[in-house]
A and B are shown apart, each in its own frame.
Chain A
Amino acid sequence: MDKKVISTVIEQDDEATSEEVKARLRDETQSIIDALTAPAYVAALRAVKAAPVEKRLLEATKRLTPEALRREGVNLPEGMRISSRYFESDLPKPLELGDLPDGRPNPLIKLSVSNPGLLDDLRANNPAALAALLSDSHTNLGNVTELPMVRFGGCHCGGGTLPGIGGTACGGAGYYL
């Protein structure tokens, strides 16, 4: 059993009305917004992005931690987590970026270099086209060595389990590393 999973039960908040749940969620997310918009937090994000590529994770461990940000005066509610994060598409098939098994270059890599943002745009606006694009590719994400293909960043999550819905509010990937 995964040691992180300790419960299979979630309880729906049947007592609260929909408007009460929404009001609680607004309160929880407002504390996230207050933290994310703090000038010291934005400055820390930009400092990490400005570091040499290979050093960015190291910089993040120094600047983008709850302790470091609190030292800079950012008001972070208790329980906040700040972590690297990688998003995949909203498709059932993973985004795959490695070379193809027969040695042919992966067209996704070419597209990521020649048309930055295209894959994200397709993901948002034309998922069927992206699905077709992904249908002939191969996964090898650990060995990707060029920044445009990595596309992961940081994520700030807090608020614990959101009342009435069970999720956690996050401000994500302010800047891809």
Chain B
Amino acid sequence: METPYPGLEFGPAELAAVMRGIYDELIEFATTPAFQSMYFELMSLPTKDRFAFVLDVVLSPEERRRRGVEPPDGILIQTSAFGDRRPTLFVIKKFLPQRYHTAWENLNITFDNHYDDKSVSRDPGMAWRPPLPVALQGAVMSGGVDLDSLPNDIGVGSALFELPEIRSVEP
């Protein structure tokens, strides 16, 4: 039996095995021809039209079914927003069993609009900003506006936390 993490009931090998299984499930789904076809349909659109497609098709069980995209039990298709404000579109995600939530909670594969890596800041203060509400982020992306132009204090729960210092506003 392996040595558990301090204060937890499981160790790295057990957690890694569970994660491996979940990633394999996500990979299996992401590589189905139906999912791939829907994804490339999304990415064939102009960037400003992609978030609307996510709302209308990727998040719609009816539209997915029409395209033969049937997520297995436990795999969720969601939208999200990052503190670093990379222009993300949607995510396929699966929760780990509750037992492991004291360490990690979910694994996912995330699909972004393409961006120049240098344009998204790696400053910890930028990366750990409260994320924008997703609907707002999507509207801003669709409008072709720079996500970094929005103030930091409108992020989700920004009234709750002391906001990190940003060392540099440059990406």
Contacts and interface: CB of A to CB of B under 8 A. Distances in A.
B141 interface: yes
A38 B11 CA distance: 10
Q: Which of A2, A60, A175 has the most CB of B within 10 A?
A: A2
A61 B167 CA distance: 11
Interface string A139-157: 1011111110110111101
Contacts of A84: 82-83, 127-131
A70 interface: no
Interface residues of B, number: 93
B168 interface: no
Interface in A133-177: 139, 141-147, 149-150, 152-155, 157, 162, 164-177
Contacts of A132: none
Given A1-B144, A82-B127, A153 B105 contact: yes
Contacts of B104: 36, 42, 45, 171-175
B30 A165 contact: yes
Interface in B78-109: 78-87, 91-93, 95, 101-109
A139 B128 contact: no
Contact of A94 (B27, B39, B133): B133
Contacts of B80: 85-88
B69 to A, nearest CB: 12
A30 B109 CA distance: 13
A33 interface: yes
B65 to A, nearest CB: 14
B27 A26 contact: yes
B60 A92 contact: yes
Contacts of A36: 15, 19, 104
A85 to B, nearest CB: 5
Nearest to B81: A86
Contact of B114 (A7, A54, A149): A7
B105 A174 contact: yes
Q: Which of A33, A54, A62 has the most CB of B within 10 A?
A: A33
Given A87-B78, A166-B111, A174 B40 contact: no
B146 A144 contact: no
Q: Closest 9 interchain pairs by CB? A: A84-B83, A150-B157, A4-B115, A174-B104, A61-B124, A86-B131, A7-B114, A167-B109, A29-B23
Given A5-B113, A152-B131, 4 more contacts: A5-B87, A25-B23, A87-B93, A155-B82
